[in-house]
Structure 1
Amino acid sequence: MAGSVIQQKLLPTLDFFLFEWLALDTLLERERFSDHSGETCRELLAAASEVAAEVFEPANRISDREEPSIDGDGEVVLPESTHQAWHAYRSLGIMGASHDDEHGGLQLPRLVDMAARVVFSASGPNVAPILLTESNAALILQHGSDEQRRVFALPQLEARWSGTMAMSESQAGSSLADILTRATPDGEGFELDPLGPRYRIIGDKMWISAAEHTLTENIVHLVLAKIPQPDGMVSADTAALSLFIVPKFMVGPSTELLEHNDVRLIGLNHKLGNRGIPNTALSFGGTAQNPRGAVGYLVGEPGQGLAQMFHMMNAARTEIGLLAASIGFAGFAVSLDYAKWRRQGRLRGVTSAEQVPIIEHADVKRMLLAQKSYAEGGIALSLYVAKLLDDQQTGSAEAASSAGALLDILTPVLKSWPSEWCLEGNSLAIQVMGGVGYTRDFPVEQYWRDQRLNMIHEGTHGVQAMDLLGRKVRQNGGQSLAELGAKIARTVLAGNEADFENESDALASAWESVVRAANHAWESGDPRDALANATPFLQGFGHVVIAWIHLDLAIAARSSSHSESAGRLAATNYFFTYELPKVNAWLNVVENREKLCRDVDGWSL
Structure 2
Amino acid sequence: TMGAVEALDKHASPALKAKYLKKLVSGQWMGTMNLTEPQAGSDLNALRARAEPAGDGTYRIFGQKIFITYGEHDFTDNIVHLVLARLPDAPAGTRGLSLFLVPKFLVGEDGALGARNDVFCSGLEHKLGIHASPTCTMIYGDGFEGMAPGAIGWLIGEENKGLTCMFTMMNNARLAVGMQGVAVAETATQKALAYANDRRQGKAASYDGNGMAPIVHHPDVQRNLLTMKALTQIARAISYSCAHAIDYARVSVGDEAIHWQERANLLTPLAKAFSTDVGVEVASLGLQVHGGMGYIEETGAAALYRDARIAPIYEGTNGIQAIDLVARKLPFGGGDHVHGYIAELKAVADEVRTLNPRGFGRTADALDRALDDLGQATRFLQGLLADGRSDEALAGATSYLRLISLAAGGAYLARGALADQSRVALCRFFAENLLGEAGALKERVIGGAESLAAAGKTLISA
Q: Same fold (TM over 0.5)?
A: yes
How far apart are 1:503 and its partner, in Å?
Answer: 2.4
C-alpha deviations, 1:129-171, integer Å up to 9, x for none?
A: xxxx111111101111112112112211101001110011110
What do residues 288-346 of structure 1 show as CA deviations (whole Å, max 9, x unaligned)?
73454101100111111111111111111111111111101001001111111222211
CA shift, 1:395, in A, is: 4.5
Is 1:297 equivalent to 2:131 in the alignment? no
- The answer for the alignment partner of 2:83 in structure 1 is 223
* 1:593, distance to aligned residue in structure 2 (A): 5.2
Would you say 1:594 and 2:449 are equivalent positions?
A: yes
What is the Cα deviation at residue 284 of structure 1? 0.6
Match of 2:370 in 1: 510
Q: Write out per-residue CA displacement over residues 37-61 of structure 1, whole angstroms, 9 at most, x where no aligned residue.
A: xxxxxxxxxxxxxxxxxxxxxxxxx
Say whether residues 1:240 and 2:106 are aligned partners: no
SS in 2 for 1:454: coil
Which segments of 5 or more consecutive residues in structure 1 lack a partner in the other structure? 1-132, 192-197, 559-565
Q: Runs of 5+ in structure 2 lacking a partner?
A: none
Tell me the equivalent position of 2:306. Answer: 449
**Equivalent of residue 539 in structure 1, options 379, 394, 402:** 402
Three-state SS of the structure 2 residue aligned to 1:152 is: helix
1:164 is aligned to 32
Whole-angstrom CA distance in 1 between matches of 2:258 and 2:340:
10
- Whole-angstrom CA distance in 2 between matches of 1:530 and 1:481: 16
Q: Partner amino acid for 2:14? A: D
Q: 1:590 to 1:291 in 2, by over 3 A?
A: farther
Please tell me whether the aligned partners of residues 371 and 422 of structure 1 are also in contact (alpha carbons under 8 angstroms): no
Q: Distance in 2 between matches of 1:246 and 1:148?
A: 11
Match of 1:570 in 2: 425
Name the CA distance, whole Å, in 2 between partners of 1:136 and 1:487.
34
Aligned partner of 1:307 among 157, 160, 164: 164
Q: Which moved more, 1:461-470 or 1:516-525?
A: 516-525
CA distance change for structure 1 residues 455 and 284 in 2, over 3 Å: closer, same or farther?
Answer: same
Q: Give the C-alpha shift of residue 350 in structure 1.
A: 8.0
Question: Does the Cα contact within 8 Å between 2:207 and 2:217 map onto a contact in 1?
Answer: no
Which residue does 1:41 correspond to in 2?
Answer: none
Q: For 1:179-328, list aligned pairs within 5 A.
A: 179-187=47-55, 190-191=56-57, 198-229=58-89, 234-287=90-143, 289-290=146-147, 292-328=149-185
Aligned to 1:405: 262
CA distance in structure 1 between the partners assigned to 2:130 and 2:348 by the alignment:
37
Cα distance in 2 for residues equivalent to 1:350 and 1:514: 41
The letter for the 2-side match of 1:414 is: A
Structure 1 349/262 Cα, relative in aligned 2: closer, same or farther at 3 Å? closer
Alpha-carbon offset, residue 490 of structure 1: 2.8
Q: What is aligned with 1:333?
A: 190
**Secondary structure, aligned partner of 1:173:** coil
Q: Could you list the runs of 4 or more consecutive aligned residues of structure 1 that deviate by over 6 angstroms after TM superposition?
A: 349-352
CA distance in 2, matches of 1:425, 1:388: 26
Equivalent pair of 1:244/1:299 in contact (CA under 8 Å): yes
> Is the 1:183–1:226 contact (alpha carbons within 8 Å) kept by the matching residues of 2?
yes
Q: 1:262: Cα distance to partner?
A: 0.5
Aligned residues of 2:141 and 2:150 also touching (Cα < 8 A): yes
2:11 to 131, 143, 155: 143
Q: What secondary structure, in the 3-state scheme, does the structure 2 residue paired with 1:277 have?
A: coil
Q: CA separation in 1, counterparts of 2:12 and 2:337?
A: 29
**C-alpha deviation, 1:353, in angstroms:** 5.1
Task: Give SS of 1:311's match.
Answer: helix
Aligned residues with identical type, % of pairs: 33
1:239, distance to aligned residue in structure 2 (A): 0.3
CA 246–552 in structure 1, closer or farther in 2 if over 3 Å, else same: same
Deviations along 1:387-443, whole A, 9 cap, x unmatched? 222222235655533321211111001101111122111111111111211111111
Counterpart CA distance in 1 for 2:207 and 2:271 is 44
Cα deviation for residue 380 of structure 1 reads 2.2
Residue of 367, 371, 388 corresponding to 2:245: 388
Q: CA deviation at 1:594?
A: 2.2
Give the drift of 1:178. Answer: 0.5
Counterparts of 2:51 and 2:299, CA distance in 1 = 48
- Which of 411, 414, 434 is matched with 1:579 structurally? 434
SS at match of 1:580: coil
Question: Which residue of structure 1 aligns with residue 213 of structure 2?
Answer: 356
Once residues 324 and 288 of structure 2 are traced to their aligned partners in structure 1, the CA distance between those partners, rounded to angstroms, is 34
Q: 2:46 aligns with which of 155, 165, 178?
A: 178
Using the TM superposition, give the Cα deviation of residue 519 of structure 1 relative to its aligned residue in structure 2, in angstroms: 2.5
Q: Give me the whole-angstrom Cα distance separating, in 2, the residues matched to 1:379 and 1:331.
A: 14
Whether the aligned pair in 2 keeps the contact of 1:243 and 1:309 (CA below 8 Å) is: yes
Cα distance in 2 for residues equivalent to 1:284 and 1:350: 64
Task: Report deviation, 1:286.
Answer: 3.2
Structure 2 counterpart of 1:492: 349
* Alpha-carbon distance in 1 for matches of 2:112, 2:460: 57
The DSSP-based 3-state class of the residue aligned with 2:109 is: coil
Question: How many Å apart are 1:589 and its aligned residue?
Answer: 2.3
Residues 346, 352 of structure 1: 8 Å contact kept: no
How far is the alpha carbon of 1:287 from its aligned partner?
2.7
TM-score, normalised via structure 1 length: 0.72
Say if 2:396 and 2:446, in contact at 8 Å, map to a contact too: no
Residues 259 and 594 of structure 1: is their aligned pair in 2 closer, same or farther, counting only changes over 3 Å? same
Q: How many residues align?
A: 453
What code does the residue aligned with 1:176 have? Answer: L
Shift of 1:577: 1.5
Partner secondary structure for residue 114 of structure 2: strand
CA contact (8 A) 1:183 1:225 kept: yes
Q: Cα gap change, 1:174/1:291 in structure 2, threshold over 3 Å: closer, same or farther?
A: farther
In the TM superposition, residue 508 of structure 1 has moved relative to its aligned partner by 3.0
Rounded Cα–Cα distance in structure 1 between residues aligned with 2:266 and 2:148? 45
Q: Is the CA contact 1:137–1:154 (under 8 Å) kept in the aligned structure 2? A: no
Check 1:398–1:498 CA distance in 2 against 1; reply closer, same or farther (3 A cut): farther
Whole-angstrom distance in 1 between the partners of 2:17 and 2:85: 21
- Whole-angstrom distance in 1 between the partners of 2:207 and 2:198: 20
